[in-house]
Amino acid sequence: MLCLAFMFAMVCATGVHGARLLPPLPMKDGCYQASPELEVFRVEGEAVILQFPIFMRGLQLRKIAPPLEKYLISRNNGSDQLRYQSDGRVQQQGKELWFLPAQPSDSGEYTCTYRNETYCVTGSITLHVYESSSVDIEKLSYPWPALVGEDVEFNCPSLESFNQTGRPIQWYKDSNPTPLQPGRATLMIPAVKRSHAGVYTCQLTALIHNQQYKVSRAFLLHVKGWCCAISFLIIKPPVIISPRNGTIFEGPHGSSLELFCQVLTECPLADSTVVTWLVNSQSVESSYLERRALQGGRRVTRVSEMCQIEQRLIIAVITEEDEQTELKCVTQNTSGRQEVVAILHLEDTTFTWLVVAVVTVICFLMMVSAFLYILFKPKTKKKMDYILARQSSTFSV
Q: Hey, where are the domains in the chain?
A: 25-133, 136-223, 235-346
Q: Determine whether domain 136-223 maps to CATH 3.40.630.10.
A: no
Q: Do domains 136-223 and 235-346 have the same CATH topology?
A: yes
Segment holding 363, helix H or strand E: helix 350-375
**Contact (Cβ atoms closer than 8 angstroms) between residue 267 and residue 74:** no
**Contact (Cβ atoms closer than 8 angstroms) between residue 395 and residue 42:** no
pLDDT in tens, the chain (397 residues): 444 434 434 444 443 333 344 566 788 888 888 888 888 888 899 999 999 988 888 888 777 777 777 889 998 765 556 778 878 899 999 899 999 999 999 999 999 999 888 888 999 999 999 887 766 666 677 778 888 888 888 888 777 778 766 677 888 888 788 888 666 778 888 888 888 998 888 888 888 888 899 998 888 888 875 444 344 445 678 999 999 888 888 888 888 888 999 999 988 788 888 999 999 988 888 889 988 888 877 888 887 778 899 999 999 888 888 888 999 999 988 788 899 999 998 876 555 456 566 777 787 788 877 777 777 666 555 444 444 444 444 444 4
Output DSSP code: residue 9.
H
Strand, coil or helix: what is 349? coil
Q: How far apart are alpha carbons 241 and 244 in whole angstroms?
A: 7
| Residue 347 phi, psi dihedral angles, 5° rounding | -65, 140
Return the CATH architecture of domain 25-133: Sandwich (2.60)
The pTM for the full model equals 0.58
Strands 211-223 and 141-146: parallel
CATH class of 235-346: mainly beta
At position 373, the amino acid (one-letter code) is Y
